[in-house]
Amino acid sequence: MTETESRESLLRITEIFFSLQGETRTVGLPTVFIRLTGCPLRCHYCDTEYAFSGGEKFTVKQILETTAGFSPRYVTVTGGEPLAQKNCLSLLSLLSDQGYQVSLETSGALDISAIDRRVSVVMDLKTPASGEEAKNCYDNLTHIKSEDQIKFVICNRNDYEWSKQQLQKYDLVNRCEILFSPVHGKEMAKQLAEWVLEDRLAVRFQLQLHKYLWNDEPGH
């Protein structure tokens, strides 16, 4: 596909907005978020169900123009599950060509091998309480770069113990940075923080900054 054809490719978009990054290593930094529509997973704790369907078709060119209007340094492509749309790959490359620091948030259920190497991948490993553990694609771990991040959203003690097992089984701490996130709620957050400290885990504990600032309002 030529660059011109890539720019004219269509993607279904739920929203494009400018906000503070609420998670990952760039937390707190002003970022443009491009939220693609659709997801093959149905995690029990999902906070973006509004992105499962609907949306509006944009050409990649329109997406690039809208993004440029915010004059960002950081751009995050998210969902839904962005990789469920095949034209997401060309969008990621073209955003990287513009000089942005681009990250992709993905569920880990779909193949990440063809993602532009300039893109920082933030990939979930779905825990048992998510209801989607069976869809984890462990082959993706062979494509994880040191600049990428693997995230666990933890709902209870069983999730925590399972996540620790994955750290050891796949030597994840030596592959890339690991994120442990509590399912949203004060009590779970405090408990998870205490478990991480007790076990001296070499992971980054993180809260979702945007939820404390704006709750679950779309566009933030």
Tens-digit pLDDT profile for the chain (220 aa)? 777 777 789 999 999 999 999 999 999 999 999 999 999 999 999 989 999 999 999 999 999 999 999 999 999 999 999 999 999 999 999 999 999 999 999 999 999 999 999 999 999 999 999 999 999 999 999 999 999 999 999 999 999 999 999 999 999 999 999 999 999 776 899 999 999 999 999 999 999 887 777 776 666 6
What are the boundaries of each domain within the chain? 3-214
Taking the C-alpha atoms of residue 140 and residue 112, their distance in angstroms, rounded to an integer, is: 6
Class of CATH domain 3-214: alpha beta
Instruction: Give the end-to-end CA distance of the chain in Å, rounded to a whole number.
Output: 34
Nearest alpha-carbon partner for 125 in 107, 143, 140 = 107
Cβ-based neighbours of 90, under 8 Å, separated by 6 or more: 1, 6, 9, 60
Taking the C-alpha atoms of residue 32 and residue 54, their distance in angstroms, rounded to an integer, is: 21
**Look-up of token digits 């000089």:** 99
pTM across the whole model: 0.93
Q: Which helix (H) or strand (E) holds 103?
A: strand 101-106
